[in-house]
Structure 1
Amino acid sequence: MTTTEDRSPELTEEHLERLKENMNKVEALSKRLVEVMAGKTAHSPALDGPNQDLFAKAATAYMTEAWQNPAKLLEHQIEFWGKSVLNFAEAQQALASGNPDAAEPGPKDKRFSNPMWDTNPYFRFVRQQYQTNAQAIAQAVASVDDMPEKDKQRLQFFSQQIIDMMSPTNFLATNPDALEKAVETEGQSLIKGLENLVSDLEANNGEMVVRLADDSAFEIGGNIATTPGEVVYRNDLMELIQYKPATETVFETPIILFPPWINKFYILDLKAQNSLIKWVTEQGYTLFVVSWANANASHADIGMGDYIEQGYLTAIEQVKQICKVKQVNAVGYCIAGTTLSLTLSLLKQRGDKSIKSATFFTTLTDFGDQGEFTPFLQNDFVDGIEDQVGKDGVLKAWVVGRTMSFLRSNDLIYGPAIRSYMMGETPPAFDLLFWNGDGANLPGRMAIEYLRGLCQSNDFVNDGFELLGHKLHIRDVDVPLMAITCETDHIAAWKACYRGVQQMGSRSKTFVVSQSGHIAGIVNPPSKKKYGHYTNPDLKADADDWMKEADFHEGSWWPLWEAWLKKRSGKQIPAREPGDSDHPSLCPAPGSYVLVKATD
């Protein structure tokens, strides 16, 4: 007969030393955890979720429906009870019969890819009951009818966030992958995970921001952002980089590219194989790129008008002086494209023809449909942001990053958190995720002007956006333009971009929809032969009809854009080296502003 003592593992000196060492680590890490949480800077609670009015409205509408149609409520309840009992009975049967494979595999969901979710009765019951609960919540939300459409959309979004947050994979006791790893590593994975958690909290002043990539694997200017060039101008808001020519001759009209100041510009220059910046120089163009300052409290009063005057207009004037030309071709990406359209309206009203053509990458100008951002663009959230930036002077990068991440919470929050904090894994050495985590603070005044005047009021399309003594309007955008949008873009939906382009005053418009999303659809080099694109010259139809009649083209849109740009770039001249006697090099590309972290 086997005794209890026989089944116990032998505790050798080595085991005891390892245990003691691990406990010391846990104690030290716990102390650091308490310290960082105690020192966490408080922020407006409105940034963490909608106000209680939304849920009160939902509860009232739900109860009203229940009183008016009790049979419907009972039907839902009985269905939920029935599924719950069946889940339990199935688990009991599997345990009693010793046949864990009897049940059918669950629906495909990469969170539940471990075979134990189907073969182990305990984990299968947990999964099935979670999915039953999730379905019941979604069904209850869908049954709420007596609510405004925006409130209903927000209710659906935030209820889904609760469903995703409560996934059993997010808890150690109900995550077989994490439990197996802990057993295999004698608990080392949990200690490493705690180290990762504490490090992330310390790096973000107590805010939970999951590190997505191994920061130590990348050096800006070392193994990413390496296209050669020089900073030829600098002010408090931006650095202007002129890239070295890659051909003996270049087109006379230079290109100036304005990236979004929500992120760093080097998304367009991650590595040589997918660098749009490098590719443009190889096609024979003189290219300038603006690198924006990472805002701090001293930038609190910088507004949209300052970005136009100190950024766009100043950069354009410097490029004209350096290249000795009267016009430039301008490119704006995301919010920088939105601001480029404001700049074009201003120049039109001033009678200034400095911009020969405009290219817009994933640019929203008509905010009538707020799309997936609807939950975050209502007054309770924007009021909270306004309150917070009033204290900080800036809209901090973690707020913007967290908001973006919640649109894809399983991929950008919970999945990485599980791998880092439960599994103890080092984040991957992935350049795109490294860039994604290298965010930027936004000046407080600019953030509120953008949120209130453009996103909420849609002034640029409606009565005009008042700025710099002018009332700017979308119809004033009348230069030849090309708009590149992305089919699965969840930040700037292509249909919303299309509506804006339709309202622009230009007689020459080219509209393109690239396959993939906000980043991959733009960073899509021809050499990859990965994502195709759609074109249709008829911009009078609505978006659905435009796509229905569009022609599909294999491969990247980059060559299409270059052929369009070539017609608007003048004659060939000897290649220009960066700067001139009045614009000597201040430092090599990628410059100094791009190195400043949001937490610095």
Structure 2
Amino acid sequence: MVLQPGERSDRLKALDASLRAAWARTWVSISPESQWLAWTDWARHLAISPGKSVELADLALRQWAQSIHGTCTVLDPSFGNEATGAAANDRRFKDPGWDQYPFSAFRCAFLGQQQWWHAATHGVDGVEPHHERLVSFWAKQWLDIFSPGNFITTNPVVLERTLQEGGANLSRGFGYFLEDARAWLTQTPPAGAEQFEVGRNVAITPGKVVLRNRLMELIQYAPSTEKVHAEPILIVPAWIMKYYILDLSQHNSLIKYLVDQGHTVFCISWKNPDADDRDMGMDDYIDLGWRAALDAVSTIVPNRKIHATGYCLGGTLLAIAAAAMARDGDDRLASLSLFAAQTDFSEPGELGLFIDEAQITLLEAQMAERGYLRAGQMAGAFQMLRSYDLLWSRLTNKYLLGDRQPMNDLMAWNADATRMPAKMHSQYLRRLFLNDDLSKNRYPVDGRPVSLTNIVLPIFCVGTTTDHVAPWRSVYKLHHLSPAEITFVLTSGGHNAGIVNEPGRPRRHYQILTRAEGEAHLTEDEWLAAAPMHQGSWWTSWAEWLKAHSGSLVSPPRMGASRHGYKVLCDAPGTYVMVK
């Protein structure tokens, strides 16, 4: 059989893709080529930096001398305030037991290694910044594995608990390990997640599905007040998570809170894609997601402008869509609210460690084989970004101390993970993370680029202090891109817990400051110094902001608009959210 040139080329490309997919499985979806390039770049430049080498040798000798004399301070400020502060405030070693010998020596040795490697992987002239971050990240990951807190014989807290309980803690921990291993092998939710059932005690705010297409369902929530604000709210959640993070239990449901404040609320519930959805791209999420929902809301609540709200990747999509609407003269929006959503990806935070050409190519080959990105791959990346909080501390507490944290609604939701279509995820990584097309005014919608400079709607923007997915300084960069009035909030908490931040929750605080339309923006540090601090939940400030940008109170609209094709299909939370 003689192959035509085009057929031969396609088969050869398929061969390459098949090998790369197998290579990705071998390396747990992490490109070894990226890591090799980073380490060789660092090692070669360190080899021709004798001054840096002398500094590192001097630091090692001082640390050794301190250990010999028993001082074990290791916190030398001349080798980086960041490393020094992190070591001095390391939560792993706060228990008084770590002050007793020999555990103080174990702690000393570990923190010394941590500081030495921080010094070694930073400030080597000539190393590409991305490579420097990669080398530093992996050095820290390897060190964290060998932390004395991770082992029975070198952790005083574990030893004391074991003596007190006669080893019962280790027995309980082994039982928890077997349960977790069984759940992992059978791909079932972790123990306790069954207590939180979608539609029974989470995602139970009353409402109706009024639109369903091949990508999403649109939920309209029933009013709980006699009168409602004239302008409805349309929420666009991320599709890397299920929407009901915004409608958890009754006490911490943001959607219920809005309904109880007198708002007509609509929310998109994205389909959990499978292999048949491999060709769904970002354009489909705009057309079948945002535009379809916007048309429905505009029909059900006619002649009213809409408060558009987006969370995480849903906020990024909303910013793109709003820029396209501004470009095309579509004035149906009243305001824009963005939660933990990036629009400038020049400094995307630690997630950017996993995004370069070699890494994306490997992921694309793997996704092409399956048709989607597995949920576990994204969860694994997030765990590595916060290895102590999300991995090692939990393993120590559960398996060594025998303390299993009770399951809560947020943890159960987090275990209810989603997949992502191959085409969309590839476009997302390349256009936004790798090329930063949106902030560079070259992201295309309908074949023409959009610019955030065209958005002049009032914007309410939220960042969270410990967000490793969308760092608040990256979220803040919206000030550089749009001349609009921007009310920026920085709230305590992380990417999820900072947003699920109901009134009455203890130890919560936030800063808030508004920049007027067209006014010059402050730098991040200037904003931190200028923005007043408030105790409690930022939800109350958002509710006041929405009220200030809304019209008079009116009677609630009907559920759906059957005469116009938006009939009630089923009760909330719908069917798509149930798909595993």
With the shorter chain as reference, the TM-score category is: 0.7 to 0.9
Look up the SS of the partner of 2:462 in the other structure: strand
**Aligned equivalent of 2:547, options 552, 566, 580:** 566
Tell me by how many angstroms 1:45 deviates. Answer: 4.3
Tell me by how many angstroms 1:178 deviates. Answer: 4.1
| Residue identity matched to 2:117 | I
Tell me by how many angstroms 1:48 deviates. Answer: 6.9
> Which residue in the other structure is 1:591 paired with?
574
Listed one character per residue, the Cα deviations across residues 251-306 of structure 1 (whole Å, up to 9, x for unaligned) are: 22211111111112222222222221111111111111111112221221111111
The CA RMSD over aligned residues, in Å, is: 3.1
Listed one character per residue, the Cα deviations across residues 296-334 of structure 1 (whole Å, up to 9, x for unaligned) are: 212211111110000000111112222234532211111
Structure 1: unaligned runs, 5 residues or longer:
1-40, 91-105
Listed one character per residue, the Cα deviations across residues 4-36 of structure 1 (whole Å, up to 9, x for unaligned) are: xxxxxxxxxxxxxxxxxxxxxxxxxxxxxxxxx
Q: Does 1:160 align with 2:137?
A: no
Listed one character per residue, the Cα deviations across residues 490-548 of structure 1 (whole Å, up to 9, x for unaligned) are: 33233322222332254x43333334433343333334473233213355133232333
Alignment of 1:506-521 (within 5 A): 506=484, 508-521=485-498
Tell me by how many angstroms 1:139 deviates. Answer: 2.9
Contact 1:43/1:388 (CA < 8 Å) preserved in 2? no
> Which residue in the other structure is 1:47 paired with?
30
**Aligned equivalent of 1:433, options 411, 415, 426:** 411
Q: Does 1:411 align with 2:389?
A: yes
| Residue identity matched to 1:237 | L
Look up the SS of the partner of 2:289 in the other structure: helix
Between the aligned partners of 1:186 and 1:241, the Cα distance in structure 2 is 54
Contact 2:52/2:124 (CA < 8 Å) preserved in 1? no
> Which residue in the other structure is 1:556 paired with?
537
Between the aligned partners of 1:87 and 1:60, the Cα distance in structure 2 is 35
> Which residue in the other structure is 2:422 paired with?
444
Between the aligned partners of 1:163 and 1:218, the Cα distance in structure 2 is 36
Tell me by how many angstroms 1:407 deviates. Answer: 2.2
**Aligned equivalent of 1:341, options 319, 323, 335:** 319
Look up the SS of the partner of 1:230 in the other structure: strand
> Which residue in the other structure is 1:503 paired with?
481
Q: Does 1:525 align with 2:502?
A: yes
Contact 2:270/2:576 (CA < 8 Å) preserved in 1? yes
Look up the SS of the partner of 1:536 in the other structure: strand
Count, aligned residues: 537
Change (3 A) 1:557 1:192: closer
Tell me by how many angstroms 1:84 deviates. Answer: 4.5
Alignment of 1:68-83 (within 5 A): 71-83=54-66
Change (3 A) 1:135 1:359: closer
Alignment of 1:208-219 (within 5 A): 214-219=192-197
Between the aligned partners of 2:304 and 2:89, the Cα distance in structure 1 is 58
Look up the SS of the partner of 1:485 in the other structure: strand
Alignment of 1:463-474 (within 5 A): 463-474=441-452
Between the aligned partners of 2:299 and 2:232, the Cα distance in structure 1 is 11
Look up the SS of the partner of 2:496 in the other structure: coil
Tell me by how many angstroms 1:404 deviates. Answer: 1.8
**Aligned equivalent of 1:136, options 110, 116, 131:** 116
Change (3 A) 1:557 1:131: closer
> Which residue in the other structure is 1:58 paired with?
42
Listed one character per residue, the Cα deviations across residues 210-254 of structure 1 (whole Å, up to 9, x for unaligned) are: 95x731332222222221112222222111111110101112221
Alignment of 1:540-555 (within 5 A): 540-543=520-523, 544-555=525-536
Look up the SS of the partner of 1:241 in the other structure: strand
> Which residue in the other structure is 1:112 paired with?
93
Contact 1:45/1:384 (CA < 8 Å) preserved in 2? no
Give the TM-score, by structure 2 length.
0.84
Between the aligned partners of 1:303 and 1:204, the Cα distance in structure 2 is 30
Q: Does 1:482 align with 2:463?
A: no
Contact 1:358/1:479 (CA < 8 Å) preserved in 2? yes
Look up the SS of the partner of 2:515 in the other structure: coil
Contact 1:491/1:518 (CA < 8 Å) preserved in 2? yes
> Which residue in the other structure is 1:383 paired with?
361
Between the aligned partners of 2:328 and 2:467, the Cα distance in structure 1 is 34
Between the aligned partners of 1:552 and 1:116, the Cα distance in structure 2 is 36
Between the aligned partners of 2:167 and 2:567, the Cα distance in structure 1 is 57
Alignment of 1:444-463 (within 5 A): 444-463=422-441
Q: Does 1:398 align with 2:381?
A: no
Between the aligned partners of 1:42 and 1:588, the Cα distance in structure 2 is 41
| Residue identity matched to 1:389 | M
**Aligned equivalent of 1:200, options 159, 176, 180:** 180
**Aligned equivalent of 1:327, options 273, 287, 305:** 305
Between the aligned partners of 1:396 and 1:152, the Cα distance in structure 2 is 28
Q: Does 1:354 align with 2:337?
A: no
Change (3 A) 1:69 1:317: closer
Change (3 A) 1:421 1:477: same
Between the aligned partners of 2:113 and 2:458, the Cα distance in structure 1 is 53
Larger displacement relative to structure 2 (468-477 or 280-289): 468-477
**Aligned equivalent of 1:537, options 515, 519, 538:** 515
Listed one character per residue, the Cα deviations across residues 367-395 of structure 1 (whole Å, up to 9, x for unaligned) are: 12223333222233323322221222112
Between the aligned partners of 1:336 and 1:47, the Cα distance in structure 2 is 26
Between the aligned partners of 1:200 and 1:225, the Cα distance in structure 2 is 26
Contact 1:460/1:473 (CA < 8 Å) preserved in 2? yes
> Which residue in the other structure is 1:316 paired with?
294
Alignment of 1:235-254 (within 5 A): 235-254=213-232
Tell me by how many angstroms 1:413 deviates. Answer: 0.9
Contact 1:231/1:240 (CA < 8 Å) preserved in 2? yes
Contact 1:253/1:325 (CA < 8 Å) preserved in 2? no
Between the aligned partners of 2:315 and 2:500, the Cα distance in structure 1 is 16
Amino-acid identity (%): 33
Between the aligned partners of 1:78 and 1:89, the Cα distance in structure 2 is 12
Contact 1:531/1:556 (CA < 8 Å) preserved in 2? yes
Change (3 A) 1:42 1:197: farther
Larger displacement relative to structure 2 (270-279 or 305-314): 270-279
Structure 2: unaligned runs, 5 residues or longer:
1-23, 74-86
Between the aligned partners of 2:403 and 2:437, the Cα distance in structure 1 is 47
Look up the SS of the partner of 1:131 in the other structure: helix
Look up the SS of the partner of 2:38 in the other structure: helix
Between the aligned partners of 2:526 and 2:96, the Cα distance in structure 1 is 44
Listed one character per residue, the Cα deviations across residues 468-510 of structure 1 (whole Å, up to 9, x for unaligned) are: 322222223233322222344333233322222332254x433
Between the aligned partners of 2:315 and 2:43, the Cα distance in structure 1 is 41
Between the aligned partners of 2:89 and 2:534, the Cα distance in structure 1 is 32
Between the aligned partners of 1:180 and 1:210, the Cα distance in structure 2 is 32
Change (3 A) 1:253 1:541: closer
> Which residue in the other structure is 2:280 paired with?
302
Look up the SS of the partner of 2:361 in the other structure: helix
Between the aligned partners of 1:356 and 1:263, the Cα distance in structure 2 is 26
